[in-house]
Amino acid sequence: MYGVLADFVVVLHLAFVAFVIIGGFLVLRWRSLVWAHVPAAIWGALIEFFGWVCPLTPLENEFRQRAGEATYGGGFVETYLLPILYPGALTRTVQIALGILVVAINVVAYGMVLRRKRLS
């Protein structure tokens, strides 16, 4: 059961990361998402800029430990999703670049949101 919970946390983590990156563009369609996306995007950028650990990571690790899993391997989640969340070449420079990328993507997205709002 804990292995399934760990996999669920990884999928949730990946969904959160995707929301941080593309959520601003979703606001173009569903404006009320802005209230969820802005804090998520700020959190995502801060995690990268300051090198913090997202709380989902220790939660997943706890579940994996309780499941008796020492390493990732075998399934779809472990093989395809974990390398996206935990890349081997993640350095402070890469983290800062990812933070800048998150901010840049969201500046573009919210620029589009504001432009559309002015035109309507």
Write out pLDDT tens, residues 50-82.
988 888 888 888 898 898 885 455 454 555 566
pLDDT at position 92 is: 83
d(CA 106, CA 61): 30
Residue 61, judged by CB atoms within 10 A of its CB (0-12, 13-18, 19+), counts as middle
pLDDT at position 74 is: 47
pLDDT at position 82 is: 66
Query: In this structure, are residues 44 and 102 in contact, taking their beta carbons and an 8 Å threshold?
Result: yes
d(CA 49, CA 41): 12
In this prediction, the residues of the chain whose per-residue pLDDT falls under 70 are 70-82
pLDDT at position 80 is: 59
pTM for the whole structure? 0.81
